[in-house]
Each structure stands twice: as structure tokens, then as C-alpha cells.
Chains A and B, each alone.
Chain A
């Protein structure tokens, strides 16, 4: 029995600066969370338990964006001590909503919000990959319950997790949603990784690509359509909601808009 316990996968759940909504999603798994907890040894989870150790981890989920220097330091230590480091939610994987603002703007807003005497603690809101290499990214603002289960199951069975092989459009077709683009409303669904169930579009909201950009996405094709529907300013607002720190935004979207 002891030996079996010792073989349990050492699991850590950490959170940096964020809304903690992805951990709320984890708790919302309810019975399925219990099944997960039975299979792993949670050695560190600040939100969930008192006990916390910093030894070696097989798997670490990190929620949030490392905004403060202390968080950046902790991220680097976790990288050294983890076999498999996983970004959990869009703040971790792409910087999330706080990354709408760049570093220069941050300096201005620190003064306006906190006054001139305040010494800021944060440096910048960037994705985890800006500081260390990551083993996998679970996107979503917030993450989707079924995706958590699917990906963690793959991990626990020794596989490398993978992304869904389709875009948000696939979900929209299944849900019977009218196509936003055909109706002249901007949408980033065609270039966005599936897995979300098109939950935002189904609810009547736009898709801002919080699940990240697909590997084979035809970004220029979508931009061409968007230019017909709306102006550069609105296109920029859509892409800057979650994607500002992606390679595609810098290499494809910005140059296209400046054309």
C-alpha cells in the first residue's frame, strides 16, 4: 500500500496573477475532480489546501500570468523542478485580458490609478512562454471542464496531450449557430482551436480566440473577410483581446493591417 502511494504522480497547482476562474472550473468538475485527486498526490495547491511542499513534481498546472518578479522567479523554479509544466487558462498561455495593456501603457496607468508615489510591484503581463519553455498549454478564458479531463487523462496515461484537430466553426455547425461572418459580424472562430464547444458564440457573444490559434489557420484569409465587414480599429480590438503576444499577431496580423 505504502509503495503504491509512493508511486502516485506528484501534482502541483499554482496560480499567478489572474481571476482564478480556471481553478473555479477545476472545482466545478465536482465528482470528476475527486476521481482525479484519488489518482494523484497533490503536493501543493494554495487555494485548495494548507499543506504545500516544493519538491519535485511530475505535473504542474500553472494558472495566471507572472506579473510580479516573485512570480517570475517562482515560475523558473517550477520549471527546474517539474517534469511536465502546463499552462492552465489563457492568462498563463497567452497573457490573457491583463495583456491587453503593454508595458509602456502600464507605467502611465500605475500613476493614474495608484498615484505618483506608488512603487509598482508588477512588471508586465506576459504568457508563461515568455520566460520558460512549457510542455503543454490548456487554453481558455476560462478553460473548459471536458478539455481539462481529456488532457489530464492523456497526461496520466503517459501520452503527450494534443490539441483538437478542428476550429470553433466545427462546434458552431454542431450547435446550429448562424455564422457570424456570413451575417456581417466579426468572429475569430475560423482560426481558433476547438475544444470550447463554441460556448461564447452560442450565447450570442463574439469569439475572441481565447483557445489560441490553430496550427494550420488561414489568418490572412480571415483578415481579408474581416476587412470587408469592418474597419482596422475593430479588427485590432478583436485580435488584441487575447492574441497580442502570439507569433501570428506580430508576424501576420500587424503587417496585414499596416498594408
Chain B
């Protein structure tokens, strides 16, 4: 194959000559190996211009979390799994406590549930703000780095910083730290936030409320590229409110919902020789998970203010996942205020719930992480040590759909220059908000 027919999509970032193709040999012919910038984790795109095909190669090293959990105690699972991803550690922490509680037959008290939902609201805002302002926005306003926005549009940049701050503050106040929680326990919390801290947080949230409306308005009106990718969207459904913390079924809107207990039947993972991340599918179909999917399935549960922005969403265009994330920032910001008001008016129960007498010792924790459905299954021994762990991350589910959407984008823009196509593909990848770190785990 002529060399010029194949190339890598991304700016080289200087290190292409230093990274080895994977697997050695075969991939060498079709691509150089350069890393996609402004996404979580390490991956590169391989284009075959002659065959007009695209492959997403994930090169993140394997950490084998499912193995290193084995032998650890039930209380250590939620300490270890947040380290899968520093961008959504609370989601991994929550999936872990839920899985272990399921295995031990534990029912946490209502205060615990409200606090966890509050943590999840903070997690969503943290992750979405980082993604939209820091990783995505430079594409649409012609900047190299998000912090350059400080000079170009200081007001907008201040809004981004305030939202990042208030989201980090929710995490710090409830979870003990903005990255990797310290207060959470199986059955409840080691430590509850005090009333004064919650009141202060509520004040901060009220002050930043205009920033969330602005963000939703701004990101829903960016000039996203047009694309009909024929998306199938998948999200958890049921449970409280917007189904993020305790949705109990997996819903696609195209066919019958499935219980999260059947997550393994529903979501299959395939190993591909060019990637350290597996590729997921739902009943053998490509599905997109994340904010756009959640709104498509649970949009009727959004707050009234958030609902106002749904109208312009195109559920067949993955670029609109960015808009959906901005709408969710508005939603979760409001939800956080409501949850804090509930805690302040109802008082807090600090009891840590105890295991049942004859627990099943097998449990599943399912949660909507910022990037979509996250499943953790654990089996415990009689001594409460982990004997088996299985983790299915949102990005694993998204990778298959991402490749398909990239193919659709390539076909739609076949007349464009290679440079333009390269740019569009990178923007598409960022719209899926892949967390390659999570996807390999």
C-alpha cells in the first residue's frame, strides 16, 4: 500500500517516533501511531484512505483491576475502583459500594441515598464542565488550549471556573475530596457533612445558578457538524428521579427493557487485536451511552429549566452529546440544591446499615457515570474477600458506536480535504467524551 494513502489523524504531539505500533507488524503498514489530544487516556485513530475505513486503537496499558480486586476485602473495593478513573472516581466509588451492599444484603438509610445522589450530581457537573470547557470548546472557538479562553473571553472563562469550583466543592463536602472519595463506606458514610458546610454549599450553588443557564444556552447553540449516525441510545431507567444513582433497568427505547441483573446478557464485550480496550455492544447492536442517551430515555425527569433546552437536540447526531452534557449541568446543579434542602429540612441519619444474616455474597452495582452506564459485579467469600470482579465501563460500550459514527462521518464528508476530515473525526471522538483510562481498567 502506498505510504501516503494511510496516515494518522492527529497532530503528532511530537512522540510518534517513540511509540510502537500494536500489534507489531500488521498495524505498522496502515498507520503511524500518534495520540489523540484533549481526551482522557491514550488512543489513536487509524485511517485507511484507500479503503475508507477507520479504526480506533486504544493504547492505554492494561491495569487488570478485575484481577487486583480479588483477595481484597469488601471494604477495600470502593477504595480501589475510583483509581480506575480520576475524572469519574465518584461513579466508580458508588458502583462499588452498591455492588458490595447488594452482595451483603445491605439497605442503606434514606440520608445515605440523598447524600450519594448529591455526590453523583457533583460528579456529573465536575466531569461535564471539564470535558466541555477544557477539552471540547477549543475546537469550536479556534483555541489551542482551554486556558487561552481566559484572555479571549474572560467572562465565559470565569463562569467555567466557578462551575468547576462549585462541583469540586460538592465532592469535597460530601465525598471528602474532589478526586477519590474518603468518606464513603459500605452501608453509609464514615462521616457526614455538617449543617454549616451544607448551608455554605447551598449558597455557592445559588450564586452559580446563572452560570448553568448560560452554559446550557451556549453549548446548545454551538455550530455542531451535521451527522445522521442512526444512533441507538442506551441508558439506565427507573429508580429515583433521573435514574442516575439507582436506575434498575437497561433501556434502549427500541425494544423491551432488561433488568440490570441481566447486564451480562445485555452487554457483550469483544476483544480486538488492535486495542487494549474491549469493544462493547448491546444485543449485538452498536449503542451510544452517556448524556444524550440519558436525555432520550429519561428526559421527562429533567427539571423544568433543563427541559427548555431539549427542543434543539438531534438524537441521531452524536455531536449533540455536548449539548446534552450542558443541559445536564443545569439539571444536576438544580438537583443538588433540592437535595441539600432536603438534607437541611429533614435532618441526617448517620447510622451505617448492617449486612443481612444470610447474604447472597454476589452483587451488582449499576450506575449512570458521566459517560453512561457503569456495571460492577462482585462475588465475596464467607470471609468477605473478593473472589470475582467484573467491570463494564461506559466507554467500552461507546467505542463500537464511535467507530460506526466515524465511518458515517467519513462517508458524509467524502469530498472534504483530508485535513478537514481529520479535524472532524477528532471533534467526533471528543463529542463521545471517551475515557480510555476507564475503558481499559
CA distance A112 to B70 in the complex (A): 12
Closest 8 pairs (CB-CB, A-B): A21-B86, A204-B190, A203-B182, A67-B61, A203-B176, A109-B67, A17-B61, A52-B13
Residue among B67, B84, B85, B440 with the most chain A CB within 10 A? Answer: B67
Chain B binder among A25-33, A152-160, A211-219, A248-256: A25-33
Considering the complex, give the chain B residue whose CB is closest to the CB of A205.
Answer: B182
Main secondary structure of the interface of B (DSSP, over half): loop
B window 140-164: CB within 8 A of A: 144-147, 150, 161, 164
Considering the complex, give the chain A residue whose CB is closest to the CB of B16.
Answer: A54
Considering the complex, give the chain B residue whose CB is closest to the CB of A208.
Answer: B79
| Neighbouring B residues of A48 by C-beta, 8 Å | 38, 134, 145-147
| Neighbouring A residues of B180 by C-beta, 8 Å | 21, 141-142
Is there a chain B Cβ closer than 8 Å to A37's Cβ? yes
Q: In the assembled complex, how far is the CB of residue B379 from the closest CB belonging to chain A, in whole angstroms?
A: 14
Contact status of A19 and B437, CB under 8 A, knowing A48-B134, A74-B18, A203-B190: yes
Is there a chain A Cβ closer than 8 Å to B101's Cβ? no
Is there a chain B Cβ closer than 8 Å to A173's Cβ? no
CB-based contact A17/B63 at 8 Å: yes
Is there a chain A Cβ closer than 8 Å to B384's Cβ? no
A-B residue pairs in contact (CB < 8 Å), sample of 23: A17-B440, A20-B437, A24-B179, A25-B86, A34-B150, A45-B145, A47-B38, A50-B144, A52-B37, A67-B63, A73-B19, A74-B18, A74-B19, A77-B18, A98-B63, A101-B67, A125-B61, A141-B83, A199-B177, A203-B181, A204-B190, A205-B176, A237-B76
CA distance A115 to B62 in the complex (A): 14
| Neighbouring A residues of B89 by C-beta, 8 Å | 19, 21
Q: In the assembled complex, how far is the CB of residue A208 from the closest CB belonging to chain B, in whole angstroms?
A: 8
CB-based contact A28/B178 at 8 Å: yes
Is there a chain A Cβ closer than 8 Å to B240's Cβ? no
| Neighbouring A residues of B63 by C-beta, 8 Å | 17, 67, 97-98, 122, 125
CB-based contact A20/B41 at 8 Å: yes
CB-based contact B185/A204 at 8 Å: yes
Is there a chain B Cβ closer than 8 Å to A132's Cβ? no
Pick the residue among B11, B59, B85, B175 that contacts A121 (CB under 8 A).
B59
Considering the complex, give the chain A residue whose CB is closest to the CB of B19.
Answer: A70
Q: In the assembled complex, how far is the CB of residue B280 from the closest CB belonging to chain A, in whole angstroms?
A: 14
Q: In the assembled complex, how far is the CB of residue B231 from the closest CB belonging to chain A, in whole angstroms?
A: 27
Q: In the assembled complex, how far is the CB of residue B93 from the closest CB belonging to chain A, in whole angstroms?
A: 11
CB-based contact A30/B20 at 8 Å: no
CA distance A114 to B58 in the complex (A): 14
Given contacts A71-B61, A141-B180, A203-B175, 16 further A-B contacts (CB under 8 A): A19-B85, A21-B179, A28-B168, A46-B38, A50-B37, A52-B15, A53-B14, A97-B83, A101-B64, A113-B64, A118-B271, A119-B23, A199-B177, A200-B182, A203-B181, A204-B176
| Neighbouring A residues of B135 by C-beta, 8 Å | 47
| Neighbouring A residues of B161 by C-beta, 8 Å | 30-31
- Complex interface bits, B248-276 against A, C-beta within 8 A gives 1, otherwise 0: 00000000000000000000000101001
Is there a chain A Cβ closer than 8 Å to B48's Cβ? no
Is there a chain A Cβ closer than 8 Å to B87's Cβ? yes
Is there a chain A Cβ closer than 8 Å to B165's Cβ? yes
- Complex interface bits, B298-340 against A, C-beta within 8 A gives 1, otherwise 0: 0000000000000000000000000000000000000000000
Pick the residue among A52, A67, A101 that contacts B14 (CB under 8 A).
A52
CB-based contact B68/A101 at 8 Å: yes
Is there a chain B Cβ closer than 8 Å to A166's Cβ? no
Is there a chain A Cβ closer than 8 Å to B387's Cβ? no
| Neighbouring A residues of B76 by C-beta, 8 Å | 237
CA distance A121 to B84 in the complex (A): 18
CB-based contact B15/A113 at 8 Å: no
| Neighbouring B residues of A96 by C-beta, 8 Å | 83
Is there a chain B Cβ closer than 8 Å to A49's Cβ? yes
Q: In the assembled complex, how far is the CB of residue A108 from the closest CB belonging to chain B, in whole angstroms?
A: 7
CA distance A169 to B278 in the complex (A): 43
| Neighbouring A residues of B178 by C-beta, 8 Å | 24-25, 28
Contact status of A204 and B179, CB under 8 A, knowing A24-B86, A27-B134, A50-B11: no
| Neighbouring A residues of B147 by C-beta, 8 Å | 33-34, 37, 48
CA distance A45 to B183 in the complex (A): 32
CB-based contact B64/A203 at 8 Å: no
A window 64-90: CB within 8 A of B: 65-71, 73-74, 77
- Complex interface bits, B26-42 against A, C-beta within 8 A gives 1, otherwise 0: 00000001010111111
CA distance A44 to B188 in the complex (A): 43
Contact status of A28 and B181, CB under 8 A, knowing A17-B61, A52-B13, A67-B63: no
| Neighbouring A residues of B40 by C-beta, 8 Å | 20, 47
CA distance A119 to B275 in the complex (A): 10
Is there a chain B Cβ closer than 8 Å to A247's Cβ? no
| Neighbouring B residues of A31 by C-beta, 8 Å | 161
Is there a chain B Cβ closer than 8 Å to A4's Cβ? no
CB-based contact A106/B86 at 8 Å: no
Is there a chain A Cβ closer than 8 Å to B232's Cβ? no
CB-based contact A50/B38 at 8 Å: yes
Is there a chain B Cβ closer than 8 Å to A105's Cβ? yes
CA distance A68 to B41 in the complex (A): 14
Is there a chain A Cβ closer than 8 Å to B73's Cβ? yes
CB-based contact B61/A20 at 8 Å: no
CB-based contact A49/B130 at 8 Å: no
CA distance A203 to B403 in the complex (A): 42
CA distance A84 to B397 in the complex (A): 40
CB-based contact A98/B87 at 8 Å: no
A window 192-211: CB within 8 A of B: 199-200, 202-205
| Neighbouring B residues of A34 by C-beta, 8 Å | 147, 150
CB-based contact B176/A110 at 8 Å: no
CA distance A158 to B393 in the complex (A): 44
